[in-house]
Amino acid sequence: MPEKKIILVGGGGHCRSCIDVIETGKTFSIAGIVEQPGKENSEPVLGYPVIGCDTDFENLKKQYDYALLTVGQVGSSNIRQRLFILLKQAGFVFPFVVSPFAYVSKHARIGEGSIIMHHALVNAGAIVGKNCILNTRSLIEHDARIGDHTHISTAAVLNGEANIGSGSFVGSNAIIVQGAKLPDNFFFKAGSLIAGEKDGKAMKDNKL
């Protein structure tokens, strides 16, 4: 059993996927789940108990050093950003978590609190910000950049030198073409092809 204990904040579907990644990796043992107020008595999540709510961070920090945000993000990142700030203020350490079935180049950089799910690939020179989700089978090519608090969904592709702003959402099977530069807080729907600045007029309707 790993000695490092971690709490998971958020007990929904994304949490279940994160549990699977953490269990497979064997770097951390999961101490329990932190839910929103009113859900303190919820049923365990995949066998892990609910140990508090998000008003208990200061007390939980007395017992545990590590935390991971497992609230999902479809669209706005506001909830994940708010919780990230609260956990940082309480003093928690945010590791980045990588599935043993993913590939992350030693020449890439991953920010604190980000999770790389099963079979994702992050190539050389890529930079991933803090508190990001790189979901199953996503592909981040060489020298691409992803801003903080951004979710790259299942099987989405960021080609070389693409630049995604912070707080954004890239839907499943979306393709960001090479060198595209995209602003903060945007929603890219599933299956879309995004060429960047020349698509700016179309993207106005996608602002979160």
Q: Looking at residues 127-156, what average pLDDT do you find?
A: 98
Return mean pLDDT, the chain: 92
Summarize pLDDT for 155-194 with one digit per residue, the tens: 999 999 999 999 999 999 999 999 999 989 988 899 988 8
Say whether pLDDT at 120 is over 90: yes
pTM of the model: 0.91
pLDDT digits (tens, 9 = 90+) for 85-112: 999 999 999 999 999 999 999 999 999 9
pLDDT recorded at residue 207: 55
pLDDT in tens, 54-79: 899 999 999 999 999 999 998 889 99
Q: Which residues pair with 97 in a beta bridge?
A: 115
Q: How far is CA 118 from each of CA 6, 20, 99, rounded to the nearest angstrom?
A: 19, 9, 5
- In this predicted structure, the answer to whether residue 8 has a pLDDT above a threshold of 90 is yes
Given a cut of 60, is residue 199 above it in pLDDT?
no
- Domains of the chain and any CATH numbers: 4-90 (3.40.50.20), 97-206 (2.160.10.10)
Residue 204 has pLDDT above 50, yes or no: no
* pLDDT over threshold 70, residue 26: yes
